[in-house]
Amino acid sequence: MNFLRNTFGVLVGLAVAALIISIGVRLNPSWINYEEIAPFQRWEKVLKSVEHKPYFFVALLISSGIAATIGGVVTAIIVKYAKVAYAILIGFILLFIAMLDIIIFPYHPTFYKILIFLTFFPFAWMGGKITEVIYERKKRRNRRLQK
């Protein structure tokens, strides 16, 4: 049963992260050249249109960091044990997807290629730690009330 719960937690965390990244990409109306909610089906066309606009990639890095944090929090809330480890797993999966994106589509600036490594793991770890701290405080408070 824990396997299903953990798998569900990881999938929900990834879905939340994808939603937040999609919202981050839609921040500037000039970047939108597609009709769908999520830009992932037309990602190459989006990257070609913003190839020489570094602000797009800065916004993508920021939204990716926020997405990794919130996706890590959601995953850590759902899973029962090893909350930080599963939050870091979200960061690893997002990093793997970002690396595939960089390898497949050659339109990313150099700063993005470097900073992507420094974005996903720390922010996902932070999401797991936030949840762990909240749970520990809740446990301490319950212990105090029982005494």
Query: For residue range 26-68, what is the model confidence (pLDDT) as tens digits?
Result: 887 777 767 776 677 777 888 888 888 888 889 989 999 999 9
Per-residue model confidence (pLDDT) at position 38: 67
User: Residue 124: which domain range?
Assistant: 2-146
- Residue 138 has, within 13 A of its CA and on its CB side, a CA count of 6
DSSP conformation class of 52: T
Q: How many domains does the chain have?
A: 1
Q: What's the whole-model pTM score?
A: 0.86
Residues 6+ away with beta carbon under 8 Å from 28: 55, 56, 59
